[in-house]
Structure 1
Amino acid sequence: MVFAISEINNNTLLLPDVKLAYVIYDVCGDMKRIMDATLSFVEQEAQKGNDVDNDCGPRALIGHSASTMSMVIARFLGNFHIPQVSYFSTCKCLSDKREFPSFLRTIPSDIYQATAMVHLVIYFGWLYLGTLANSDDYGQQGIAQFLSEVEQKGLCIAFRQNLPMMYDVAVLRHLGEEVEKSEADVVVIFSSEDELITFAEELANRNVSGKTWVASEAWASSPVLKTSIFSHLFQGTIGFGLRRGWDTFGMNSTECTGEEDLHQVESAFTDVSDLRVTYNTYVAVYAIAHALHNLRDCLDGAGPFENSSCGAKIHFKPWQMVETFLVKCLKPSTDLEVFDDLRVAAFDSNALKMDFGRTLLLYLQNVRFLNNLGEVVTFDENGDPPAVYEIMNWKPDAKGEMKIAVVGIFDSSLTPEHQMKINLSGIVWSNGRRNVPRSVCSESCLPGTRKVTRKGEPFCCFDCIPCNDGKYSNTTDSPDCLHCPENMWSNKRRDYCSLKPIEFLAFSDPIAIILLTLVSLGSTPARNDYARPGTFILECRETSLVWIGCALSFLGLLVATCIFLAFRLRKLSSAVNESKLITFSMLFLLLVCLAFVPAYNTTAGKYNIATEIFAISAVASGVLYCNTVPKLYSVVKATRSLHISK
């Protein structure tokens, strides 16, 4: 901020003859200090009034970095229409102009980041995800937006958990166990660096590896998490970072001798290779300066008010930069920001009125200028800038140390199909892999199967059940199997249906030759499609069940009559007694019938017909032979005896 104000004060084109001053408050992340600083700021604005001798009244505020803190400040400043520009508060809730009418920011809203994350997971084909988020407004609203969009796209969530704001061993262990055991290989984390470090320590203790982490901008460029302690955990991380503004940055300090060699110093203050949040602060100062410039030089007919008026005409008088006021509570910052604090830029004019805040706010909302990168800086109706993110990948360098490489970009101002560009060849995933990792609960069900969701698990976790006989599925992840048409049957893979083959006992069949060709009285050719599923059997089917019943009844009557008469005639002389022969032939018939029943039930198709023929032939032959063979034997024996006697 100091660097930007110094540039502006030395710029002869922007606010010439006007010097900007500033007051810096460091609230140390403490809510009480935030309230004190905000009330002090508002009190100065209220007491200034029309005092033309007040040469150093605050006019706009730059800060805070945390969304929750910015919300507290914005609720106060909004009542007085005092412009507030944040450089790092991303919660989408701050876009609500009914609640925060004077809040603007130079960092994109999380609504854009959540959308960018959805684009990313869809781009890589990740279907099964886990999510972790801070328990504050930043994490909760950001992850809620992400979950809302991915569920609309049909993606599946394995788990959704919150990181504790305060150190809690039990909670961290539970989270670590869930992440370690989860089948989801991709985890999206909406968190700040501080809350994530304690969880990373738990993961390091468990030696969790092989996961792919999707990082929000608050930790995507963390210098702590990419150290050797956590490098095995986060190698392959892919995330979104703010645009870098410069490659070098210069500023003076009265405590320096001028002989220091900063190349020999390694700290967050001297690392100028990754200036992201710092650049947002730089842009915020320039946005206010351009708004003041437009306000001062406004011409009637070109202003932002009704009828293109300029509102209250403001003329600044020259004044010098005042002494910096600093509440002593300094701590290191991850960017090259001198203080992780609430920044207050104070602007002065001895012609400012009580409604100056409202006037400046309107000019700030309509500001439009080119930054040092040649890009247009502007705010939409919600006070948000266009969203441009660098897509970053954590991978080891030649020395084995973790570095953050830019592998793509996301620009919300482009059409959806052109918003994301990624260099796949430049990405290194976890465990040094080059191929894009997969993250699915269940692999897709192939044709020939149907998908059945597992009870009690997310909808993307399912089993693939093969289709039954006579059914098929010809699409991937089919929810049901379809019945084949009546004259068709499914193949072995159950992925299509084909015509049923026709099977019959042909004259050329060896079985038919052995059995001869038998034609049954009262029978006609018919097609049987149930004896053997998937095959048509040509057979002789009886024309009437009554005929079958009569035939079997007659056969049974004959058997019963034969047995009865044979029993009654058993005492006659053996010369004319054939009862034994009749009895034996009937018993043979019963044995054939007993053997026929299981044989017929265990065969199918044409072999059923063969079984019937065997049974009929056996019965006929048995009755014939049992009755005639003994008689023939007796005749032959008697004839031989007669010849011998002669």
Structure 2
Amino acid sequence: KVPWLLTYLNVIGVVYIITRYEVIYHRDCDTGNVVIAGLFPLHYISDRPDNYSLEDTPAPLICRRYNFLGFRWMQAMIFAIQEVNNRTDLLPNVTLGWELFDTCNTHARAVTQALNVVDSINKQPKSMKLRCYHQLICISALIGPTASDKSIIVSNILSVFDIPQISYGATSRLLSDKNVFSSFLRTIPNDDEQATAMVDLLLHHNWTWVGAVAGDDDYGRPGISRFKEEAAKRGICVEYTAYVSESMSPDLLYQTAHEIKNYNATVFVTFISATHLVPLARHLRDQNVTDKVWIASEAWATSDSVLFIFAADVFSGTLGIATRGGDMPGFRSFLEGVSPSTQPGSPFMKEFWEKTFQCSCPPSICQLSEHDSDLSTHNEYNDNCTGKEDFTDSGTASSAYLGWTDLEKSYNVYLAVYVVASALHNISTCVEGEGLLKDGGCPSLNNLTTWQLLAYIKEVNFYPPGHDYQFNFNENGDPNASYKLVSWVPQLNAQGDVTIAFVHVGNYSCMAKPKWSMNDSAIYWRSENKEVIPESVCNGDCPPGYYTIQLQSACCFKCVECPTGEYSTSTNSPICLACNRTFRADDNRTGCIPKYEEYIRWGDAFGITFSVLSAVGIIITIFTAGSFIKMRGTPLVKATNRELSFLLFFSVACCFLTPLLYVGKPQDWNCKGRTVSFSLSFTFCIAAILVKTLRVLTAFEARIPVTYKKWLGEHVQVFVVMVVSLVQVVLSVAWLVVEPPNVVVTESKVGTAVVVECNVGNVVIMGFVYGYLCLLALTAFVFAFRARKLPENFNEAKFITFSMLIFFIVWLSFIPAYLSTNSTNSTAVSCIAILASTFSLLACIFFPKLYVLYVTPQRNTVEEVRQNTANHAIRTS
């Protein structure tokens, strides 16, 4: 109890001190069974007179710069109360009254009026009670004030006494803390959801690099802090933050405007009231800062004070996040009907009428109560008012009062009245046992306390007039967030002046998915191309073909070209992707194209050369075979064993065909074919040569028994060739079955190409295949070398020795050449070796015979053969 008592005594002391200094035109009232207080900023500032001193009793604060919007908000409260009083379905036996105060948009006046409300409710001594035309009144709840900083001060006082406070314009997130502001509620969403809506709006337009301007007060600092928290979570960076107030020096304001002009960010998010923004706006206009896109918080999203002075110069193209208002049927007619006769005795009406029509309102027209007679202003105008002036002739003042700018706050005031009325209605219809008090108890309207009313206000759930949605508060005293997006579109009026139209271009609801729905085509962009959305990023996008390197700021990056062989297809790609090994990045590095495939093509020099040489070899082979057929009756041809010779012709022809399998793109079938063709062709060929050599050797070798020589007959020789070759056939089949050669693609030394080639398959079997072929060749060479001097068939063994010697030289040279070249050239080396060894066999074995057949046919006789044999016998005897 002690802390509460000390707080109460402090309040009483402050009330006693402050109420000694009355503010001019401080209140307006109308009695009723239940009275609702309202705090409204009918002036923008208040200060002391120029001759203020403490040598005498301090002069009262003087409120300056009339606020027509504040008066309209006040009228919205009167309109709502009168509407409730005229309804028969809502509080039928209760009349609502009002007590209205002017805060002058200052903390001091807001505190003064809040303490007056506390005094009324807590029944202080009679001299301290509020009077409404000589009647003592008791206030049940308070609506207002508008700004967050004033609401915080007022709530700090009212929350001590559990007096319900419903603000229509305070959005600070601080006010959602019910541990501190326990009796505070509002009909406008808090800044937490507004900050989220701003971030969603930025991301919708891909704005990730922004500036921020906030009021240096309890509205701006918490609001911009919440925005920056949400922005950081979702990848938006704030380049610059400025805190502004109306009390800043001109030098600081000039410097702030200069910094805003020079920063890179195009979009500036604001959490600031119009009062704080106006001084900065003057400097923005003077420095021609016209290339920024402003995101206006609800405090000035549809503000006349900024609109009329600076909108066309500085703020056209602004996107304002305004609270969504509602229809108030009859409200415009009510505003147009307001006059001194409809609200007699109101000091606020007197000043409003004089400021609107630039005339002095005499006491006969603007009647003041005896209590307020000392509060009249000095006559500022020469002409007297008639009380029947027409709003259509009042120019700017009428536009500010009757225009639909900032209509949302008027609706929020209207809604706040219905919150109190709904709570009172629920109390009046409460059934014992179903109430909100202990054990289901119901409070009495005749003895209602503020804490009881607060309990019912927190639980209201009603349909606002003319709407199909239910209004209620969450646990923090906040309504569900709902905003509209307005675009500030410049247009010419009838006088040719540039004015601003608020175009409704989108809606936001915290309950919807997606939360924003907007018509982008209706938004006005202040740029050369009105259809192009301005950019607000730290740096330009990295095009495809580049990747980003993050810099110190999360929103800034460096563009780096993708490395060779890699690509990126998207804008601002964080990485580059490697192409498949058979593909390479294109010149722009934005995609993959097939790599050049390295292999011997038919049209290449190698391909043409090998094809021609193979064809020549086959033609020569066919010609030689034809010659043998044509001259098959001659001694030379008969001595060669025709079956074995034609088997040799066939084998040589196959050897000439083998290089053709190395030309063209390798595929599995020709990889297998070239291996089998090479091994079997040369095996049959060398096997035939081996048998030929063996036959010559046995014909002249006396140590060989006669019975063995019979085994080397013509038909037996062919059989031997087949048997010897069968081993190679078995090895080749095993090679194809176990692990056959197939196509492989390998990287070329040139990064833009790949080598398509055949691998060897099973290395072990390959070793046996080539080893067996070498064994046959070596055996044939040994036998041929032994028979090199024998005269059989015109020294055939000698030429076989030459052919085997060339064969070994070719393939021994092939090994280092093959290993020292790249894949494509190694294939060419293989073809050269095959052709060279085949031509050597054909030339050494058959060309001497062709020479005899066509050049020296006189030697192709039986006598010549016998003579050669006889000569050999004589030499060896």
When normalised by structure 2's length, the TM-score is 0.51
CA distance in 2, matches of 1:426, 1:535: 53
Matched, 1:251 2:338: yes
Q: SS in structure 2 opposite 1:104? A: strand
Partner residue in 1 for 2:437: 305
Matched, 1:465 2:540: no
- Tell me if structure 1 keeps the 8 A contact 2:567–2:589: yes
Matched, 1:3 2:79: yes
Partner residue in 2 for 1:84: 165
Instruction: Give the 3 Å change call, closer, same or farther, for CA 198–67 of structure 1 in structure 2.
Output: same
Which range is displaced more, 494-503 or 186-195? 494-503
Partner residue in 2 for 1:264: 393
- AA at the equivalent of 2:574: P
CA distance in 2, matches of 1:89, 1:538: 75
Select the residue among 450, 455, 458 that pairs with 1:362. Answer: 455
Q: Which structure 2 residues correspond to residues 610-625 of structure 1 after superposition, within 5 A?
A: none
Partner residue in 2 for 1:27: 103
Deviations 1:306-365, CA, capped at 9 Å, x for gaps: 443314x333xxxxxxxxxxxxxxxxxxxxxxxxxxxxxxxxxxx44xxx1111111111
Q: Which structure 2 residues correspond to residues 247-396 of structure 1 after superposition, within 5 A?
A: 247-248=332-333, 249=335, 250-253=337-340, 254=344, 255=366, 257-266=386-395, 267=397, 270-274=401-405, 275-311=407-443, 313-315=444-446, 351-352=447-448, 356-375=449-468, 376-396=470-490
Matched, 1:15 2:83: no
- Give the deviation of 1:510 after TM superposition: 6.4
Select the residue among 524, 531, 555 that pairs with 1:434. Answer: 531
- Give the deviation of 1:537 after TM superposition: 7.4
- Give the deviation of 1:502 after TM superposition: 4.6
- AA at the equivalent of 1:22: W
- Give the deviation of 1:411 after TM superposition: 4.6
When normalised by structure 1's length, the TM-score is 0.68
CA distance in 1, matches of 2:570, 2:508: 37
Q: Which structure 2 residues correspond to residues 233-248 of structure 1 after superposition, within 5 A?
A: 233-242=314-323, 243=325, 245=328, 246-248=331-333
Partner residue in 1 for 2:362: none
Partner residue in 2 for 1:178: 259
Partner residue in 1 for 2:275: 194
Greater relative contact order (Cα < 8 A, sep 6+) = 1
Instruction: Give the 3 Å change call, closer, same or farther, for CA 178–511 of structure 1 in structure 2.
Output: farther
Instruction: Give the 3 Å change call, closer, same or farther, for CA 228–44 of structure 1 in structure 2.
Output: closer
- AA at the equivalent of 2:432: D
Partner residue in 2 for 1:406: 503
Deviations 1:582-638, CA, capped at 9 Å, x for gaps: xxxxxxxxxxxxxxxxxxxxxxx98xx99xxxxxxxxxxxxxxxxxxxxxxxxxxxx
CA distance in 1, matches of 2:745, 2:106: 89
Which range is displaced more, 183-192 or 269-278? 269-278
- AA at the equivalent of 1:96: D
Q: SS in structure 1 opposite 2:485? A: strand
- AA at the equivalent of 2:524: V
Instruction: Give the 3 Å change call, closer, same or farther, for CA 247–426 of structure 1 in structure 2.
Output: farther
- Give the deviation of 1:505 after TM superposition: 8.5
Partner residue in 2 for 1:425: 521
Q: SS in structure 2 opposite 1:460? A: coil
Deviations 1:344-391, CA, capped at 9 Å, x for gaps: xxxxxxx44xxx111111111122333333253322221122333232
Deviations 1:209-239, CA, capped at 9 Å, x for gaps: 2322111111111223333644132111111
Q: SS in structure 2 opposite 1:393? A: strand
- Tell me if structure 2 keeps the 8 A contact 1:188–1:213: yes
Gaps of 5+ in 2: 1-76, 130-134, 345-365, 367-384, 614-743, 758-823, 830-877
CA distance in 2, matches of 1:415, 1:165: 38
Q: SS in structure 2 opposite 1:82? A: coil
Instruction: Give the 3 Å change call, closer, same or farther, for CA 504–88 of structure 1 in structure 2.
Output: closer
- AA at the equivalent of 1:401: V
- Tell me if structure 2 keeps the 8 A contact 1:62–1:284: yes
Instruction: Give the 3 Å change call, closer, same or farther, for CA 484–77 of structure 1 in structure 2.
Output: same
CA distance in 1, matches of 2:604, 2:95: 112
- AA at the equivalent of 1:45: I
CA distance in 1, matches of 2:97, 2:387: 25
Partner residue in 2 for 1:94: 175
- Tell me if structure 1 keeps the 8 A contact 2:215–2:245: yes
- Give the deviation of 1:97 after TM superposition: 1.1
Instruction: Give the 3 Å change call, closer, same or farther, for CA 451–33 of structure 1 in structure 2.
Output: same
CA distance in 1, matches of 2:601, 2:519: 69
Instruction: Give the 3 Å change call, closer, same or farther, for CA 301–487 of structure 1 in structure 2.
Output: same
Select the residue among 280, 283, 289 that pairs with 1:208. Answer: 289
Partner residue in 1 for 2:629: none
Partner residue in 2 for 1:633: none
Deviations 1:461-501, CA, capped at 9 Å, x for gaps: 22321122233334443323344555654332334455543
- Tell me if structure 1 keeps the 8 A contact 2:567–2:578: yes
- Give the deviation of 1:188 after TM superposition: 1.2
- AA at the equivalent of 2:422: H
CA distance in 2, matches of 1:421, 1:498: 42
CA distance in 1, matches of 2:756, 2:195: 67
Matched, 1:41 2:173: no
Partner residue in 2 for 1:129: 210
- AA at the equivalent of 2:566: K
Q: Which structure 2 residues correspond to residues 589-608 of structure 1 after superposition, within 5 A?
A: none
Instruction: Count the aligned residue pairs.
Output: 504
Deviations 1:72-124, CA, capped at 9 Å, x for gaps: 22122112111111111111211111111111112221222222222322233
- Give the deviation of 1:451 after TM superposition: 1.0
- AA at the equivalent of 2:112: D
Q: Which structure 2 residues correspond to residues 407-556 of structure 1 after superposition, within 5 A?
A: 407-412=504-509, 414-417=511-514, 419-431=515-527, 433-453=530-550, 455-456=551-552, 458-484=553-579, 488-497=583-592, 500-503=595-598, 531-535=749-753
Deviations 1:382-428, CA, capped at 9 Å, x for gaps: 112233323211112243522233323435353222x4332333322
Q: Which structure has the bigger radius of gyration?
A: 2
Instruction: Give the 3 Å change call, closer, same or farther, for CA 251–365 of structure 1 in structure 2.
Output: farther
- AA at the equivalent of 1:478: S
Select the residue among 199, 219, 228 that pairs with 2:300. Answer: 219
CA distance in 2, matches of 1:135, 1:284: 28
- Tell me if structure 2 keeps the 8 A contact 1:112–1:412: no
Matched, 1:143 2:274: no
- Give the deviation of 1:67 after TM superposition: 1.0
- AA at the equivalent of 2:556: C
> Aligned residues: percent identity?
33
- AA at the equivalent of 2:490: P
